[in-house]
Structure 1
Amino acid sequence: MVPPVSERELAAKLRAHGNSSLGEFPVLQAALDIAAYARIQQNLPFPDFDSIIEQMNELSHSAGEWVAIFDNRPPADEQVEWLRLIMHEQGGFEGATQNYDASENADIAAVIENRRGLPVSLGLLYIHIARCCGFGVEGLNFPGHFLTRLIGDETSAIFDPFNDARILEPQDLRATLKRFHGQTAEMDLSFTRGVRDRDVLIRMQNNLKFRALRESRLEDAVLVVERLLLLDPGNGVFWQEAGLIHQRIGNLRAAVLAFENAVETMQEPALSVRVQSLLDEVRSQLN
């Protein structure tokens, strides 16, 4: 890992992360690049990235030393326990239960400094450490609460990075789903589907976007969508969101550009027709 660089170089790196044909890439480096780019957008000072990287390197080294003594990879549940010891006991990382909605909990640099984070930001760190150990690991498509899966040679284990890497059995997954989505919610196979690293990064940014919109911080929401579009420029929904936010702020020319891109990239014809009507509406306001 290396410290961040200029705005142009960071934007290029985010595009490269997003365009990667691999399901896996250096996910922690990508998250640090996003954190650095966000600070440039907001004219905020950088944290001590050298110190942040060194802290994670120390944890990675400790994790690797343990794995080196085994001839074969341990079972998945033992892998989870080792990650818990490294992340929770040695690293002191915990779920941010006191100020859950604070934006710093979705900023990976702040998470490493504060040792507190959201499920998805802590999950990203678990993914990084697991890969340093040579473990098979992936984030899951679970709604409302990010979960992670370690894949052993014969078994796998789903665990909750927010709650001290507690292993979740099928009944625990159902209970977690109902806690976040109500008692009528039922499990679906898609909820335990593995996701690409890019999707983990996008989920982190979506947390920031939803909070900004909920608190009517539209300018902040636009900045988040700009980062999302660097990661996934072909996502018509993100372009539509950018257009809608710009329209609400009064940035009509920016809204037109965003809606034009949304029309070109939207996958569903019905949504494309809807965006075209929004585009026509904003164009009429400019004339």
Structure 2
Amino acid sequence: MPTQQLDYFASLVAEDEHLPLTEAAIAVAQHAYPDLDVQGVLDHIDQMAEKLKTRITPETSAIQRLQILKHYFYTELGFGPNPNDFYAPENSYLHQIIDNRRGIPISLAILMMELGNQIGLKIRGVSFPNHFMMRISLQQGEIIMDPLTGASLSKNELQEMLDPYLDAKGYRGELSLPLNIFLRASSPREILSRFLRNLKMIYSEHERWERLLGVQERLVILLPDSLEEIRDRGLIFAQLEYLRPALADMQRYLRESPEAEDATEIRDHIATLEGQTKLH
């Protein structure tokens, strides 16, 4: 694992106040593309923004700016979903998305938010269950927009999308949660953690452990207080037979959360690993 790239990522996400979401999201891909020129990708996005700025004057209203942005992003540049392979990891790497014009909601939203912010629009990300959204503040009120298409969604449409999630979680009847809880703006750290967890899920399902470790290292850096992410890194280390770091992570997990639901399971893992380290 190249420590230089991890140090760079750590420097980007060190503070909440100045966390550069776009740069950090591009930098995530360095685990899979070590030679990626992050600044070159940022420059490419800036060039797109410069084109947009030529179409705007100080008199252009926010709603007009939004229409100009949507036309440019979806119609001219042709950004949209990848219906053939929605779960391909490339849909989460911003440099690939810029080349292919195909992404998933959260990756397209990060690009849209960056371009929108550069032309004076207040666009924020919303970690809506199962489908990342964007929230745009206009004089007329707040708009919730689908990053895949640019469509604005009504409260009824959003509730219909939310209901299956509420059913699955048992949040119905007396426990029913209001829609607004799910529409609050997410912080850059929250957006990045969801972004990384998408990749984590993809690489876990395909058991691509080296790639998964690159993602997991960044999750531990991003969420240093999350013991679950430290445990998961330990489990990945174990799959790769990096026995000592695997033991260190799992022992820390148990030390700091001895009552965890999976404590017995992790103790068993540790016993197995300790047996293996004696053999080495």
Tell me which interval the TM-score lies in, with the shorter structure as reference length.
0.7 to 0.9
With over 3 angstroms needed to count, the CA separation of the structure-2 counterparts of 1:79 and 1:252, relative to structure 1, is: same
Judge conservation of contact 2:23–2:38 (CA < 8 Å) in 1.
no
Q: Are residue 144 (structure 1) and residue 130 (structure 2) matched?
A: yes
Distance 1:158 1:265 in 2: 40
Q: Are residue 253 (structure 1) and residue 244 (structure 2) matched?
A: yes
Show the counterpart of 1:34.
28
Judge conservation of contact 1:123–1:139 (CA < 8 Å) in 2.
yes
Show the counterpart of 1:16.
11
**What amino acid maps onto 1:118 in structure 2?**
I
Show the counterpart of 2:105.
119
Show the counterpart of 1:55.
44
- How far apart are residue 88 of structure 1 and its match? 1.1
- How far apart are residue 237 of structure 1 and its match? 1.4
Secondary structure at the counterpart of residue 193 of structure 2: helix
Judge conservation of contact 2:133–2:147 (CA < 8 Å) in 1.
yes
- How far apart are residue 116 of structure 1 and its match? 0.6
The gaps in structure 2 that reach 5 residues or longer are none
- How far apart are residue 68 of structure 1 and its match? 3.1
Pick aligned residue for 2:77 from 68, 91, 95: 91
Pick aligned residue for 1:201 from 172, 192, 196: 192
Secondary structure at the counterpart of residue 46 of structure 1: coil
With over 3 angstroms needed to count, the CA separation of the structure-2 counterparts of 1:190 and 1:79, relative to structure 1, is: farther
- How far apart are residue 173 of structure 1 and its match? 0.9
**What amino acid maps onto 1:254 in structure 2?**
P
**What amino acid maps onto 1:46 in structure 2?**
L
Secondary structure at the counterpart of residue 19 of structure 1: coil
With over 3 angstroms needed to count, the CA separation of the structure-2 counterparts of 1:262 and 1:60, relative to structure 1, is: farther
Pick aligned residue for 1:177 from 155, 162, 165: 162
- How far apart are residue 96 of structure 1 and its match? 1.3
With over 3 angstroms needed to count, the CA separation of the structure-2 counterparts of 1:74 and 1:47, relative to structure 1, is: closer
With over 3 angstroms needed to count, the CA separation of the structure-2 counterparts of 1:274 and 1:122, relative to structure 1, is: farther
Pick aligned residue for 2:36 from 38, 46, 63: 46
Pick aligned residue for 1:165 from 138, 142, 150: 150
- How far apart are residue 104 of structure 1 and its match? 0.5
Distance 2:164 2:67 in 1: 25
Judge conservation of contact 2:23–2:42 (CA < 8 Å) in 1.
no
- How far apart are residue 49 of structure 1 and its match? 6.2
Distance 1:67 1:281 in 2: 64
Distance 2:268 2:146 in 1: 41
Deviates most, 244-253 or 275-284: 275-284
Could you tell me the TM-score, scaled by structure 2's length?
0.82
**What amino acid maps onto 1:31 in structure 2?**
A
The gaps in structure 1 that reach 5 residues or longer are 1-6
Distance 1:99 1:181 in 2: 27
Judge conservation of contact 1:17–1:25 (CA < 8 Å) in 2.
yes
The RMSD of aligned alpha carbons is 3.1
With over 3 angstroms needed to count, the CA separation of the structure-2 counterparts of 1:279 and 1:215, relative to structure 1, is: closer
Q: Percent identical across equivalent pairs?
A: 21
- How far apart are residue 241 of structure 1 and its match? 0.8
Judge conservation of contact 1:234–1:265 (CA < 8 Å) in 2.
no
With over 3 angstroms needed to count, the CA separation of the structure-2 counterparts of 1:9 and 1:255, relative to structure 1, is: closer
Show the counterpart of 2:53.
64
Q: Are residue 133 (structure 1) and residue 119 (structure 2) matched?
A: yes
Q: Are residue 211 (structure 1) and residue 196 (structure 2) matched?
A: no
Question: What is the aligned length?
Answer: 270
- How far apart are residue 110 of structure 1 and its match? 0.5
- How far apart are residue 277 of structure 1 and its match? 3.1
Show the counterpart of 1:4.
none
